[in-house]
Amino acid sequence: MPASGFTPLINHLLRTGTAIGVNEGRVLPPGIEILGFQDLGGEPERVAIWGWSGGGYLTALCLTASSEYFKCGIAVAPVTDLRLYDTAWTERYMGLLPENKAGYDSADVLCYVDRYRGGLLLVHGTGDDNVHPQHTWQFVEKLAAANKPFDMVMYPGKNHDLPGRHYHLYRKMAKFLKENL
């Protein structure tokens, strides 16, 4: 990545408690400042974020709820509404919806679309049985209804791992970053 002109900053956030999104989307952006990103050769006005699945969720959340910190981002198979995701996983961290409606609401990417400023590449396989494409479709509908710009790549029939499409995907990602940073 450095050879392509990108300085990677890798983050791995651990989930605790019943507040998905509350910590992740609000701790990472100020962390860029705390880590001395400029001292690493990074330019704060040229920060991108990307992730896949849960990382796609974090990307979508950061580009909406904390959009002032990021120039652009790439969300692959993003969870956008925890009410639609696998209950065994979601309820482990969020509890039951009737008992934590406020938590589910605050973690909902779709609620922050009005803050989104642009610079998003959405990617999803239509055969994804882990994060159903409905997540991306709902996000697209909200973005389009709000007249917000975004790019999208759909891979027909491909599952969550997008088998046989990684080369195409990573080339598309590199092109997107070069054009948007």
Instruction: Write out the catalytic residue numbers.
Output: 53, 128, 160
How far, in whole angstroms, is CA 96 from its chain's centroid?
A: 24
122 and 140 Cβ atoms separated by less than 8 Å: yes
